[in-house]
Structure 1
């Protein structure tokens, strides 16, 4: 039913928990395959992928390009794009299954879904950022890639898939969806807080907001990518 597509680049340290969270869905036959779309890792990402028995696809570096390559190799009717450092909470299988069944039975119009953002850190700042992300999704209908994206293959192809952008590939795709086509799931997608911890929560939040604002003002993604680095 579902092909899970995970873009990776030197992800050996974070990949195991991400893949482990998929095991219940594999056992139940909900996840048909997991695809690692790798952008040229030099660590043991390939070893982890091989040990887990997932399908490995190589692609030029860049999340958009990698996820598009993974989608092209996928066999499932539904595609779940998931970042390598994002772990789905227990219970996600039931909620996703119900979501898909409602669509396939005609109870809901064709749509895409994303998970509730969470960080794997304690304290006030992580909770504040989670709240702000929730507001962004509610008011602007703009989830980011670290919240995952579940979409039917047909709908994905109709949108034209991920474009080979150096940054904002997730927002670019989501903005091509109509607001009523995007559904927020209750299950959390718990993402690594490492970059927030390294950069500082306030600094990274301001940086992300600034990049989004510049993107909406039509600054080219290649320019944003240089600022991001």
Structure 2
């Protein structure tokens, strides 16, 4: 049976998270027919060895945009969902995506951060308000889009950062509707905890502002580049 939804997950050294995410998708899948395509940016495919047999895994050049484009090319469904390995969807997410796609070509969810810390809760609310106002959600908000439209606009651009923002801007330029679902995804707080909440938040706002002003994503990447990851499928 042809899937209703193709879930594309870019990964890099995410062995532990991909197992948890696979279980999460099974728990919320319900009667929806979907496929999962995991795209590993490690040429050795270190995360792919942890995949259950019902999930397709491939390797591609490292970089979220490049990896997600590679997964989209293999997708069979008419709707693509781009999901980060440390993001968890609402319980009824798959049904909500299918309903939303009847009204809008693309969309995403409000942002939630999986932490009780007041500062992170405030950050998630501000991010959700920003995406509702601008109609430009970030990738960790589980962006979904009509596959034909995604291919028509050329997919994600081949840039090291802001590929999610660039795609949404391209859709907006073509007056393609983007809907923000009020239910929240939950993303891991690990980056804020590793780098410091204030530093990470201000850095992200600065990068978005500079990108909007026309600074090259390749220059921005030098300021954003994450800490080195362990060269194994499982995180420390």
| Counterpart for residue 113 of structure 1 | 107
Task: Output aligned runs, 1:171-182, within 5 Å.
Answer: 171-178=165-172, 181-182=177-178
Q: Quote the RMSD (CA, aligned, Å).
A: 1.8
Give CA-to-partner distance per residue, 1:39-85, whole Å, 9 cap, x none.
Answer: 01668511222x25211111000000000000011111111001111
For 1:155 and 1:91, locate their aligned partners in 2 and report how far apart those are by CA, in whole Å.
24
Q: TM-score, with normalisation over the residues of structure 2?
A: 0.87
Compared CA separation, residues 161 and 180, structure 1 to 2 (3 A): closer
The structure with the largest helix share of the pair is 1
Higher relative contact order (CA closer than 8 Å, sequence separation 6+):
2
After superposition, the C-alpha distances for 1:155-178 in whole angstroms (9 at most, x for unaligned) are 111221111111111101011112
Q: For 2:45 and 2:113, locate their aligned partners in 1 and report how far apart those are by CA, in whole Å.
A: 25
2-structure distance, mates of 1:180, 1:203: 34
> What does residue 146 of structure 1 align with?
140
CA distance in 2, matches of 1:133, 1:30: 31
Q: Is contact 1:17–1:87 with CA below 8 Å preserved after alignment? A: no
Mapped to 2, the partners of 1:122 and 1:163 lie a distance apart of 35
Which 10-residue stretch deviates more, 51-60 or 162-171?
51-60
CA contact (8 A) 2:28 2:92 kept: no
Q: Which residue number in structure 2 is paired with residue 202 of structure 1? A: 198
**TM-score of the two chains, using structure 1 as the length reference:** 0.90
Structure 1 alignment gaps of length 5 or more: none
**Separation of aligned partners in 2, 1:59 and 1:98:** 31
**2:32–2:94 Cα contact (<8 Å) kept:** no
